[in-house]
Amino acid sequence: MFGLSFLRKKPDVIAPLFADIVAAARHPVAYRDLGVTDDFEGRFERLALVMVLVLRRLNALNAPADSVGQELVDRLFAHLDDGLRRSGVGDLSVGKKMKKLAQAFYGRAKAYTEALDGADEPALRDALARNLFGSSVQADDVPSGLLAEIRDLTAALEASDLAALLAGARLETAISRVHEGSAA
């Protein structure tokens, strides 16, 4: 065979990591036990939270982790765009909605990152109450299980190098371990 090498696709190295992020964000315990609403907004907020935790870890790693982070953000927005279109949002509205989602994502990233980097639990509780729970709970009422989950996910991420992250299947496993331990 000659001249067909251009038909070969480049390997999608971030697919396992992105799938792991989505699986962790969709873990049933968030919706069943922690009070996150199981609708587009709740799923977006949950996805944004898990994505921010992963991006914080990637920012702490050496190159090419920064490129992986950018690819993840690009994949996130392609995923959201696809979700909007599948839910029936018209082409003329998708751009406006995507702009709002981008602003929301970067706002959450800033709030969560500042709180986590500063080990400021009250600020984290406030950001979670305002964003993940849409102000339906007070900061003091943010479930302790969610804070434990964030701590354990952060620890699992910090224990992972880039190769381990790209292999996937770390985040959802960490979430399951947290909540199995709290159920016992």
Q: E strand or H helix at 29, and its extent? A: helix 28-32
User: Is 18 within a domain?
Assistant: no
Report residue 168's pLDDT band, with 50, 70 and 90 as the boundaries: confident
Residue at 150 is within a domain: yes
Give a yes or no: residue 20 inside a domain: no
Report how many domains make up the chain: 1
Please indicate, yes or no, if residue 53 is contained in any of the structural domains.
Answer: yes
Structural domain for 105, as ranges: 25-183
pLDDT in tens, 144-166: 999 999 998 999 899 889 998 99
Three-state DSSP state, 120: coil
Number of neighbouring beta carbons within 10 Å of residue 145: 18
Q: Tokens representing 59?
A: 């920012």
In a domain, 98, yes or no: yes
Judged by DSSP in three states, 121 sits in helix
pLDDT 10s digits, 16-66: 999 999 999 999 999 999 999 999 899 999 999 999 999 999 999 998 989
Asked whether residue 13 is domain-assigned, the answer is no
Q: Nearest-5° angle of CA 22, CA 136, CA 112? A: 50
